[in-house]
Amino acid sequence: MMKMGVHTLATIIAILALASSLTYASDPSPLQDFCVAINDPALFVNGKFCKDPMLATADDFFFPGLNIPRSTANSLGSNVTLLDVTKIPGLNTLGISLARIDFAPYGLNPPHTHPRATEILVVVEGIIYVGFVSSFPANRLFTKLLYPGDVFVFPEGLIHFQFNVANTTGVTFSGLGSQSPGLIVIANNVFGSTPPISPDVLTKAFKLDKNVVEFLQKEFYTTS
């Protein structure tokens, strides 16, 4: 009964989070009821083209099975399921998306940013240590230990992370204020870029031995 109560509370909070994100979404406001996305590989636009509204169906606004746990059998022990406009075409122009994060015991969602979205996260299972870092010159670290039912906000564009410090699995849900929030995983982007950033640049920037930089580039390039 207690676990069911936590799940119900988390569902309500997640729905409220998505509703509130409408107000603060960074995407442009729609000019019609909806604009179901269609892909046109020949053209690039800021967003997606719209399907004829008369051809839209309920399935354009639907995604099944978000209650199903995802595999966390990887080096980080986490798995992010992002429902953005590519997964739910009906999100186009609505300025929101949703993510489920599954954690293995001591699993980590590593430091990353969403360049186009604020994120509001609710914990369903696990004990999640979260934090974000403010911009230069303050570089302040804001952290909190979250338990089931707790909510935390990550401001748009700032580096943040989530770490399950429990010896049990963890689950969180996040509302994001964009149909396409974007993702920059700091270590992967810096050390795993294509083509690689010059080791001389990274050696000086991170004050690391050049051999260490070259090792990290090989490590992250193969896992990116």
DSSP string, 46-63: SS-EEPPGGG--GGGG--
Q: Is 109 labelled a binding residue?
A: yes
Q: Is 7 labelled a binding residue?
A: no
Could you tell me the sign of the dihedral formed by the alpha carbons of 153, 61, 12, 29, in that order? positive
Q: What's at 43, amino acid-wise? A: L
Q: Is 164 labelled a binding residue?
A: no
SS3 16: helix
**Dist CA 153 CA 121 (whole Å):** 6
* CB distance 33 to 53 below 8 Å: yes
Q: Is 112 labelled a binding residue?
A: yes
SS3 content of the chain, % helix, strand, coil (to 5): 25, 25, 45
Annotated binding site for oxalate: 109, 114, 119
Annotated binding site for Mn(2+): 112, 114, 119, 160
Annotated binding site: 109, 112, 114, 119, 160
